[in-house]
Homo-oligomer: A and B are copies of this chain.
Amino acid sequence: MSPKITDEQREQRRQQLLNAAKLVFIRKGYEPATMKDFVEEAGMSRGWIYLYFQTKEDIFEALMEQQDLEYEWFISEALKKTASVWEIIDGSFTQLKNELMFMTDSILPTFYEYYLTGWRDEQRRMRLVSRYKSGIARFVKLLQIGVDRGEFIPSMPLDLIGQITSSYQEGIMTHTLAVGAEKANTEQQLSALSTYLRQLLGIPRE
């Protein structure tokens, strides 16, 4: 009698697969990626993967969960360090800009692909909606802190501002994805978004 691997080892294996899958997703996108690809990237045998995940979707959801946690952590850290909420928002725009410049190395495009192709599936749609809501809510919460601190005097409901910012930003991202940062004029667009958001939040121009 003897279980061969500890929980920790099992978790390591799982992580190993997720890392491999992430690489494949970045390289090929969501749809074209196959279980076979993951297994090959991880250097394991075909049947092995089913000991850890049942479907490609499971794997992708797990990856997104990780991503979310990282982002959550990033925001809370920033809030501890920074005095100004606007600085955090502006910083995240800068970070976004950098990510968009090297989009081909990012899993972001695959996220969009997953979302935009998944709305016909009831399961996926539900998860999508919940992710959308929590994403907006997180942002609105941040904005509310700014209001409480007297940084912002918003010209419309925070919810709407959150939604506007989110969709505008998403549009910029998809265009960048489609034609590249240069042709989409990504930098200037993000700058325009920043100005627009300032205005909506009632921050005076510098």
Contact = CB atoms under 8 A, between A and B. Distances in A.
Contacts of A128: 178-179
**In the A-B complex, the 3 residue pairs with the closest CB atoms:** A171-B171, A167-B171, A170-B171
A67 interface: no
Contacts of A167: 168, 171-172, 174-175, 184, 189
A183 B129 contact: yes
Interface in A106-129: 109, 112-113, 115-117, 119-120, 128-129
A188 interface: yes
Contact of A171 (B133, B169, B179, B192): B169
A86 to B, nearest CB: 20
Q: Chain A's interface: helix, strand, loop or mixed, by majority?
A: helix
A92 B171 CA distance: 18
For chain A, which range describes its interface: under 10, 10 to 19, 20 to 34, or 35 or more residues? 35 or more
Contact of A164 (B29, B31, B183, B192): B192
A56 to B, nearest CB: 13
A177 to B, nearest CB: 6
Contact of A189 (B28, B133, B164, B174): B164
Query: Looking at A113, A166, A167, which has the most chain B CB atoms within 10 Å of its CB?
Result: A167
A29 B117 contact: yes
Contact of A113 (B117, B172, B180): B117
A116 B168 contact: no
Contacts of A117: 29-31, 113, 117
A37 to B, nearest CB: 14
